[in-house]
């Protein structure tokens, strides 16, 4: 359950991406950081969201933004997702859910009448000092870059 608010310091994290590279909050000091949490690599909504961000990558870079995608998928699944869709940003393979839980995006979901626990599709925009600037809970997967920019 998301308890973080805009203005809060973003949770510290130390996680690895699809290629085994380590990422920590402090690595992004001085840049704006978009962290988008998505339920599962290569599913229709997650693909639409990631590809929309990819298609606006230049705009993000021009505005001093870095992007991290995060799901609980394995490094191999994340690597396949990244390669298949030519994604220019790292995808965090948070199998332990350390980062997912720190940001409070693990919780109850409903799909086709069934309730289950999973990742709540959420995006955090973090400023150059590591503070949460905005939290987008109602992500529009096909126009997500416009929501952020």
Write down the residue that tokens 């965090």 correspond to: 92
The residues annotated as belonging to the active site are 46
Is the pLDDT assigned to residue 137 strictly greater than 80?
Answer: yes
Would you state the pLDDT for residue 19? 97
Stretch 119-126: mean pLDDT: 97
Q: What is the mean pLDDT of the chain?
A: 96
Tell me how many degrees the CA angle 65-22-13 measures, rounded to the nearest 5: 70
Answer yes or no: is 64 within a domain. yes
> Do residues 148 and 136 make contact, with C-beta atoms less than 8 angstroms apart?
yes
Q: What is the pLDDT of residues 20-39, one digit of tens each?
A: 999 999 999 999 999 999 99
Answer yes or no: is 136 within a domain. yes
Answer yes or no: is 121 within a domain. yes
What percentage of the chain has pLDDT greater than the value 70? 100
123: which strand partners?
Answer: 36, 136
Domain of 67, CATH number, reads 3.40.30.10
Helices (H), the chain: 44-55, 57-62, 75-84, 98-102, 144-148
- Under the banding of pLDDT at 50, 70 and 90, the label for residue 84 is very high
Would you state the pLDDT for residue 144? 97
Would you state the pLDDT for residue 136? 97
> Do residues 116 and 43 make contact, with C-beta atoms less than 8 angstroms apart?
no
Q: How many domains does the chain have?
A: 1
Answer yes or no: is 28 within a domain. no
Answer yes or no: is 82 within a domain. yes
- Under the banding of pLDDT at 50, 70 and 90, the label for residue 111 is confident
Is the pLDDT assigned to residue 1 strictly greater than 80?
Answer: no
Stretch 120-143: mean pLDDT: 97
Would you state the pLDDT for residue 2? 82
- Under the banding of pLDDT at 50, 70 and 90, the label for residue 65 is very high
Tell me how many degrees the CA angle 34-77-16 measures, rounded to the nearest 5: 50
**Alpha carbon separation from 8 to 21, 35, 113, 129, 131 (Å, rounded):** 27, 15, 35, 11, 6
Question: Residue 99: which domain range?
Answer: 44-147
Answer yes or no: is 58 within a domain. yes
Is the pLDDT assigned to residue 129 strictly greater than 80?
Answer: yes
Answer yes or no: is 20 within a domain. no
């Amino acid at each position: 359950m998301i308890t973080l608010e805009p203005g809060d310091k973003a949770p510290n994290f130390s996680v690895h991406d699809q290629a085994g590279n380590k990422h920590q909050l402090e690595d992004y000091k001085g840049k704006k950081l978009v962290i988008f949490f998505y339920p599962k690599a290569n599913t229709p909504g997650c693909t639409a969201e990631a590809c929309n961000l990819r298609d606006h990558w230049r705009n993000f870079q021009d505005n001093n933004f870095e992007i991290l995608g995060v799901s609980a998928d394995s490094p191999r699944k994340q690597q396949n997702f990244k390669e298949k869709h030519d994604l220019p940003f790292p995808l965090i393979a948070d199998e332990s859910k350390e980062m997912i839980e720190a940001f409070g995006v693990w919780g109850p979901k409903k799909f086709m009448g069934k309730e289950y626990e999973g990742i709540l599709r959420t995006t955090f925009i973090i400023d150059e000092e590591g503070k949460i600037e905005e939290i987008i809970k109602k992500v529009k997967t096909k126009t997500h870059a416009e929501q952020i920019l």
